[in-house]
Structure 1
Amino acid sequence: MAQSFDAMVSIEPNYQNEFNLASLKENQLFISMPFAKQTVLNPEQKKKINEKVLIKLELVYTKYRKASSFNQIKLNESRLIALQKLAPLIFENRFWDFDLISQTNGNSRNECDKMFHGFVLTFRPNSTPNTLDLEANYLENLAVALYQQDSVDADNKNRKYVIKTHYDLKIGYLHDTIWFKDTVKPVPPPDFFYNQTLYKDSTVLNAFDRNTIWKNFIVVTDVTGSMSPYSAQVFVWLKAQAQNKKAAYFVFFNDGDQKESAKKKPLETKGVYVAENKDLETVIKAATKCMRNGSGGGENLENDVEAIIEGLKYYPNADEIILVADNYESMRDYEYFDKIKKPVHVILCGSENRINIQYLNLARQTKGTVHTVKSDVMNLQNIKEGEHLFIDENEYLYQNGKFHAVYSLLDKYK
C-alpha cells in the first residue's frame, strides 16, 4: 500500500550546530545525500540494511536555504521516498522511531556542501557470545531466586504471595506484589542490555494473566538476543502455576544456532530446543542452552513457524500454541504458516509502536489471537475483506487476503 510521509516530515526537528559522523556507533549506518537533493550517493548500502532490525531512523539536513521559496518539507519527503525505493522492507512494518535533525551551521551553499545530509539508521545491536552468556546467566539466577522464594514462603504460610510485575529503579525487575522484609532480593537484569526499559515491560505476564482459559498448550518462545526480559516472564509465570500443567511442552528457538545467514532455509534453519514441562529447572536448561548456542539475533528474520511445527511433532495432542514472539522481527518461514493446524495465540513483545502484520495474518489463518501489553485481539478470522481494525490506537486494513498497516496524519513518531 502507498504510504504518506506527511506526518513524519512535519514534526518539530532537533537542532544542533553540525552532525558529527565520527560519533556514530558500531550499530549505526549513515546514508549520504547531496545538499538540497534526494539522490542516494551509495545505493549498494541496501545490502547492509535489509538483514538488520531497524530501531531508529534520523533524517539530517541543514537549516540554510539559498532561496526563500525553497521547500525543506517537500525535500525531506522526497528523501524518504528515495530511501523507501532503496530499502522497501524497512517501510513494510514501521516499528522504528523517527527524528529530524536540522543543522544550524552553514551559511552558504559552499559551506553546506561540506556537511552531512541524509539518513542515520540505528539497528538493534547483535549479541555476542559473551552477552548471550550473561543473559542466560540472568535466567538461571532468576530460577534460583524463585526457588529461594519458595523456602521463604514455606516459612510464612499465613502470608499471601501473588506473582505480578513491578520495577524498582534501585533493584530492577521484580516479580511480587506484596512486600516483606524477608522477600528474596530479585535478580538484576544484565547492565549491558541495549534497552533497559524492556525489563519494565510486563507483556507476557499480562497476557497470561488475562487469558486463563488457555489449556493443554505448547509455549514457543524466541530466545534470540534481546528476548531475555520476556523469557524471564515465561519462567515467572511457569513457577507461579505450581502443579498446574496447562503448558505441556516448551519450545525455544534461536534461528539456526551459529549458522550463517546465507545458509538458513525456511523450515530447515534449526536451532530449535524442546522441553517437556516436568519442572522449572528442565525448562530453563533448555532455554539457556538454546540462548548460548544462538547466533545472537540482530537479523530481521526468525524461524517461528519451524519451531511451532517442531513442537507439534513432540506433542501433537496440544489444543493450542502460545507463541512469544519478537514483534520487531518477521518470520523467515512466513509463507509456510498454512502448515499449522492448531490455533496460535501470539504474545507480541515490543509492539508499542505498531503490530507486525505477519503475526496478525498468522493468528487469523490459524483462528488464534494476538496479545499486546494491554490488548487481546480476538476473532480475527471473522474480519472480512475491506474491514478496518484498531489495536492500541493503530489502524489496520484487511485487504486482498491479508492485513496492512494504515498510516495517517495522526501517527506519532516521537
Structure 2
Amino acid sequence: MLAVFLRALLGSLFFVFLSGPIQAQTPLSEADLSAFYDQLNAYRTERYQPLPDLEAIRLPSTFSGADLQALHLRERHIVRVDLVYTAFRLNPTFDQRQLNLSRIRNLAAGLPGLLQDESITWTLVEQTGCNSPAECQPFFHGFVVYVARHATAATSRADLDSLTRKLRLLDKKLAKKKAARKKQGKKVACNLPFTQASTRQMARHLRRAYRCPQRIGQIIRFEMSVDEHGKTRQVRVQPNSKLTCPAELEEAIRQSVLFASGFYIHRRQFPFEVKGAVRLPLGPFQLLGRPDLAITDFSLSDSVARLYRVFLKKKGKRDYCEARITPAGELLADTTSPELVLPPDANVVARVMQRHPEWSKEVVVTDVTGSMFPYTYDLLAWLQLSALEDKKTFVFFNDGDDQPDKTKHIGKTGGFYSVKTDSYEAIKNKLVEAMKAGGGGDAPENDAEALLHAQQLTSDSTDLILIADNHTFPRDTRLLKNTTAHVRIILCGVHDYINPRYLALARKHGFSLHTIESDLLDLSKLLEGETITIQGQLYQITRDGFKLVRKT
C-alpha cells in the first residue's frame, strides 16, 4: 500500500507539467469506479499489438511520475487508453478485477479528471498467448495511452499547404485523364476469382458447418475480404436483429466459401471484396431451384480500379470480366502526395457517397480540424470527380476559430462556414476559409453545435450528413437531446473498431452510421442485453449504450 501511495503522490507532483485538456476533478467513489469499470470495452487476444495509426505511449504497471511526464499533455491530448494484462493465473484465487481497478485508480490519481473525460475510449485487453511466468514475462502489462497533438494555427497552415498541393496535383492528373478519355485503352486479360468448389458444393458445406437455430424466410447478406492469393481475410455478416448466431454464421461462411485465386488482371492477381447472400433456413433441398448460397458481386480497391477499367458482365448464366489499361489509368494509380502517409480508410467519404447516389439533397457537415485532414482531401477529391447535379449545402466547422479552449462553452463555440452551391470551386474556397480561421485546439470538437447550425439553414425534413472522427467523440452531444433531425454519420478512422459512443448516439437518436465497409441502420431497434456483430467485432447493448465484448 505504501508503494501505491508513493506512486500516486509522485504522479500528482508531476501533474504540474501536464496541463492540458484534463482538469482537476473530484475522484470517483469506489461504487462509481466499479460502475465505470463494468462499462469498459473488453476483449481477448493472443498478444497485444498497438494500433499503427495513432501515437502510443506505454506506461508499465509500475509507472512513475516521469512516465506520466512523457505524455507531454501540454502539446497533446489523450484519445484512448488500453489496460493490457495476461490471462495466466499462478494462483487460481487471484482477483484480476481488483488489480485492474487499483491500476486505474493510480493512473487517475496522477492525471486528475481522466476518468471524467467522456471523449476518451477505454479498453481492457486480456492476452492469452502465455501459460507460465516465464512465458508471460516478455508480454506487456500496463497502460497503452494513445495521444494526438493539439491542432494549432501552425499545424493548420501546414495542413492547408499540403491540401493545396495535393489538389493541384489532382487537377493536373484529371486534366491528363480527360485528354486521354477518348482513347479506349489497351484490352488486357481479366478473370474473375476462382472458387475451390461449385456454389452447390459450398452451400452443402455451409449446411453442415452452421448448426444454429434458423428462422424461416431470412436473406442474410455478407461481405468477404480476400487477399491476392485467394485466402479469406475477413467475413462480415450485415447486421440483422433476427439472426441468432452472427459470429457462427461468419465462421461457417469462412469455412465454406473458399477461393483458389485472387482477381486476375493483366498477368497479376489482386485482393478483392466479394458480396453474397445466404438463404435461411438452410435445407437439404433448394427452394424453387434457388440455392441457399449466392455470390452476387466482386469489387476491387480504388487504386486498382483507377489503373484498370474493369467491367463485370454476364453472358447467359456465365459471369465474366473485361479490363483495359490506359496511360491515364497508369497515371492515376497513385494520386497521393509523397509528403503524407494516408490512413487505411482515407477514401471513406468517397466510398460511402458512391455507395449512396440517392443522397442528393442532404446537407453535409464536416469537421476541418487537423485530425480530419486526409478526409477533407477525400471529400474535395470526390466532389471534383463527381459533378453535383443540384445545389448542396456544406457546413465546415473548426471548433471555435482558434479561440482558447478555456473560453469555449457548450453550444456557443462557433467556427462555422457554410455555402450552398453546385460549384466545386466555391465549396473548396469556403473549406479553405474555414481551415485558415482555426485548427481546432484540443479534442473533442463541437459536432452537435454544427449539426444544429446546419439544421437552421434548411428545412427540418432535410437529412444531414456528418463527417466525423471515430477516435474523438464530440463534447456537446447533450445539445441533441430534443433534436428531430435524421443524421447520417460517416465515421473516419475506423481501423480497429467503431467507437461505442457513436453506436450509442446512433441508437439513442435514430441516426445511421457509415464506414468504408458497411452501413449501420436501425440501431434504435436493438434491445438492452442483445449482442450484435459489426465488421467482425461483437458488441453488447447495455443500459448506457454499447460495449465491445469480443474483437477478432
- Do these two structures clear the TM 0.5 threshold for a shared fold by scoring above it? yes
Output the CA distance in 1 between the equivalents of 2:456 and 2:356.
Answer: 25
**Contact 2:79 2:120 survives alignment (8 Å):** no
Taking the aligned partners of 1:342 and 1:13, their CA distance within structure 2 comes to 40
Query: Do the aligned partners of residues 29 and 388 (structure 1) sit closer, same or farther apart at CA in structure 2, a change above 3 Å counting?
Result: closer
Deviation sequence 1:372-395 (CA, Å, 0-9, x none): 121111122322343332211223
Equivalent of residue 419 in structure 2, options 275, 294, 317: 275
Pairwise CA distance, 1:324: 0.7
Of residues 161, 165, 185 in structure 2, which corresponds to 1:137? 161
Shift of residue 119 of structure 1? Answer: 4.2
User: Is the counterpart of residue 315 in structure 1 residue 458 in structure 2?
Assistant: yes
Question: For residues 185-224 of structure 1, what are the alpha-carbon distances to aligned partners after superposition, in whole Å with 9 as ceiling and x for unaligned?
Answer: 6654473x6xx34165332222112222223111111111
2:431 to 270, 282, 287: 287
Paired residue secondary structure (2:432) = helix
Residue 329 (structure 1) aligned with residue 476 (structure 2): no
CA RMSD of aligned residues (A): 4.4
The answer for the alignment partner of 1:367 in structure 2 is 510
Q: Cα offset for 1:244?
A: 2.1
Secondary structure of 2:429's partner? helix
Question: Structure 1-normalised TM-score?
Answer: 0.70
| 2:145 counterpart (121, 124, 134) | 121
Shift of 1:303: 0.5
* Contact 2:120/2:472, CA 8 A, preserved across alignment: no
The answer for the alignment partner of 2:547 in structure 1 is 405
Aligned equivalent of 2:355: 210
CA contact (8 A) 2:513 2:520 kept: yes
Corresponding residue for residue 233 of structure 1: 378
Q: Does 2:496 match 1:353?
A: yes
Q: Tell whether the 8 Å contact from 1:5 to 1:80 is kept in structure 2 after alignment.
A: no
C-alpha deviation, 1:58, in angstroms: 7.4
Aligned counterpart for 1:201 among listed residues 346, 351, 373: 346
Question: Which of the residues 485, 488, 494 maps onto 1:342?
Answer: 485
Q: Distance in 2 between matches of 1:144 and 1:398?
A: 46
Match of residue 259 from structure 2? none
Shift of the 289–385 alpha-carbon distance from structure 1 to 2, 3 Å rule, reads: same
CA distance in 2, matches of 1:73, 1:374: 43
Matched, 1:264 2:408: yes
User: Which structure has the bigger radius of gyration?
Assistant: 2
Structure 1 pair 72/5, CA: closer, same or farther in 2 (3 Å)? farther
State the distance in 1 between where 2:520 and 2:60 align: 41
- The alignment-based identity, stated in percent, is 22
Partners of 1:321 and 1:344 within 8 A in 2: yes
> Offset of 1:371 from its aligned partner?
0.9
Residue number in structure 1 paired with 2:101: 81
Question: Residue 59 of structure 1 contacts residue 119 of structure 1 at CA under 8 Å; is this kept in 2?
Answer: yes
Partner of 1:214, secondary structure, is coil
* Aligned CA distance change for structure 1 residues 155 and 197 (closer, same or farther; 3 Å): closer
- The residue identity in structure 1 corresponding to 2:382 is W
| 1:273–1:212 distance in 2 versus 1, CA, 3 Å | same
Partner SS for 1:324: strand
**1:305 Cα deviation after fit:** 0.9
Tell me if the contact between 1:165 and 1:176 (Cα under 8 Å) persists in the aligned partners.
no
The alignment partner of 1:250 has SS state of: strand
Letter in 1 for 2:450: A
Once residues 6 and 210 of structure 1 are traced to their aligned partners in structure 2, the CA distance between those partners, rounded to angstroms, is: 32
Gaps of 5+ in 2: 1-34, 50-54, 109-113, 128-140, 186-299, 310-324
| Residues 359 and 270 of structure 1: CA distance in aligned 2, closer, same or farther (over 3 Å) | same
In the other structure, the counterpart of 1:388 is: 531
Partner SS, residue 327 of structure 2: coil
- TM-score, normalized by length of structure 2? 0.54
Using the alignment, how far apart are the partners of 1:286 and 1:98 within structure 2?
A: 43
Structure 1 stretches lacking a partner, 5+ long: 15-26, 62-68, 101-116, 169-173
Per the alignment, do residues 367 and 333 of structure 1 end up closer, same or farther by CA in structure 2, a change over 3 Å counting?
Answer: same
